[in-house]
């Protein structure tokens, strides 16, 4: 069983854009601004998080407060794309229910293919507010398997960071641009209707990151082919690309919690957790969060 689900509430940064792709597939693209909640802690704001793991907004320097938000790219394909794009103007408040897609495209600037993550909308609802509106929401749920051992590193020699790619097979209602022409009238894909070269595209390879004490904790539990369940949020992250000598932006999943499943190294993870607790390197909030999830997993799978 796999899961790939995203739910977002925010405001459009600009009018939604409508295009016809090369194969005449309708496409809608929109940028949604979602202010962050206190529990949405990225590497840049980790120094301003308290003992409970939440960011105290009054501790953020004034020049950074305007950056405590994410600009998320949302797409939709097929007939609904034309229907939605027409009525979505800048400032509109929308609720998006969809999934995280790893989309492959040819980057003319560097002359090769790259992969970008974006939210593919199954449902998009204008809420009717152009002012404050309802509270922003940014939630992601993913279940899949690690492609290889995660990469642990210290950012700026200080911030623990764990990066991984999670392999998530698609459901038959999760339709990307290249697969849209093969969708049935009911909006679903049937594997038997796809040409052989496209059948391996029914899998997304999603970039996931975790920072701080959680990165330390999970670095010893997780390994290649471990099954994981991730609860987190979609982060917009900026980085400097040395190849093109300018700043780029990416969307990736920032994991707030991870349940380690079959294939995880529970012996090494538990031993490391005890060591971190003894050293005082693992805060009470993270330790308490990890115990019940891991205990449930061990009970269910006998690890």
- Residue 203: pLDDT band (50, 70, 90) is very high
Phi, psi dihedral angles at 279 (to 5 degrees): -80, -10
Where would I find the beta strands (DSSP E) of the chain? 3-12, 17-20, 26-35, 69-77, 93-107, 112-126, 137-146, 151-155, 159-169, 203-211, 227-241, 246-260
pLDDT at residue number 288? 60
Pairing of strands 151-155, 112-126: unpaired
- Between CA 74 and CA 116 the distance in angstroms is 12
Sequence-separated (6 or more) residues with CB below 8 Å from residue 8: 32, 34, 72, 74, 95, 96, 98, 119, 137, 138, 139, 234
Distance from C-alpha of 36 to C-alpha of 67, rounded to nearest angstrom? 9
Here the tokens at position 265 are: 């190294």
Quick: pLDDT tens for 11-65.
Answer: 999 999 999 998 889 999 999 999 999 999 899 999 898 877 889 888 899 989 8
Residues 6+ apart with CB under 8 A from 156: none
d(CA 51, CA 88): 41
pLDDT greater than 60 at residue 302:
no
Structure tokens belonging to residue 98: 């969809």
Which of 165, 164, 168, 163 has its CA nearest to residue 153? Answer: 163
| Digit-coded pLDDT (tens) for 132-185 | 567 889 999 999 999 999 999 999 888 999 999 999 999 888 989 988 888 887
Q: Which residues contact 252 (CB under 8 A, 6 or more apart)?
A: 117, 206, 207, 208, 209, 234, 235, 237
Cα-trace Rg, the chain: 20
Digit-coded pLDDT (tens) for 106-120: 888 888 999 999 999
Closest CA to 27 of 176, 174, 202: 176
Q: Output the domain CATH number for residue 17.
A: 2.40.50.140
| Mean of pLDDT over the chain | 88
Handedness of CA 233, 236, 240, 243 (dihedral sign): positive
> Exposure of 211 by Cβ count < 10 A (0-12 exposed, 13-18 middle, 19+ buried)?
buried
Domains held by the chain: number: 1
User: Which residue would you say has higher pLDDT here, 129 or 109?
Assistant: 109
pLDDT at 263 over 90: yes
Q: Does residue 297 carry a pLDDT above 60? A: no
User: How far apart, in whole angstroms, are the C-alpha atoms of residue 292 and residue 288?
Assistant: 7
Whether residue 199 is predicted with pLDDT greater than 70 in this model: the reply is yes
Task: Say what the pLDDT of residue 131 is.
Answer: 54
Best-predicted range by mean pLDDT (79-88, 184-193, 230-239, 290-299): 230-239
Q: Domain range for residue 209?
A: 3-301
């Amino acid at each position: 069983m796999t899961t790939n689900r995203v739910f977002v509430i925010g405001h459009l940064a600009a009018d939604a854009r409508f295009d016809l792709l090369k194969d005449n597939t309708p496409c809608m693209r929109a940028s949604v601004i979602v202010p962050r909640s206190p529990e949405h802690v990225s590497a840049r704001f980790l120094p301003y998080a308290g003992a409970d793991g939440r960011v105290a907004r009054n501790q953020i320097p004034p020049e950074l407060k305007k950056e405590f938000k994410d600009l998320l790219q949302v797409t939709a394909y097929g007939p609904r794309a034309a229907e939605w794009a027409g009525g979505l103007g800048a400032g509109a408040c929308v609720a998006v229910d969809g999934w995280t897609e790893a989309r492959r495209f040819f980057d003319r600037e560097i002359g090769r293919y790259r992969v970008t993550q974006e939210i593919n909308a199954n449902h998009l609802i204008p809420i009717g507010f152009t002012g404050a509106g309802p509270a922003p929401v940014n939630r992601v749920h993913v279940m899949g398997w690690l492609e290889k051992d995660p990469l642990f590193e210290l950012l700026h020699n200080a911030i623990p960071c764990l990066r991984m790619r999670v392999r998530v097979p698609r459901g038959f209602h999760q339709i990307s641009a290249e697969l849209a022409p093969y969708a049935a009238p009911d909006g679903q894909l049937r594997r038997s209707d796809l040409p052989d070269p496209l059948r391996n595209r029914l899998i997304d390879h999603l970039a996931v990151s975790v920072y701080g004490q959680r990165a330390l904790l999970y670095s010893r539990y997780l390994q290649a082919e471990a099954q994981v369940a991730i609860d987190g949020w979609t982060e917009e992250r900026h980085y400097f690309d040395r190849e093109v000598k300018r700043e780029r932006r990416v969307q990736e999943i920032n994991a707030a919690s991870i349940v380690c499943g079959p294939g995880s190294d529970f012996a090494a993870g538990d031993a490391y957790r005890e060591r971190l607790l003894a050293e005082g390197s693992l805060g009470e909030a993270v330790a308490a969060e990890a115990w019940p999830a891991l205990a449930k997993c061990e009970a269910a799978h006998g690890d």
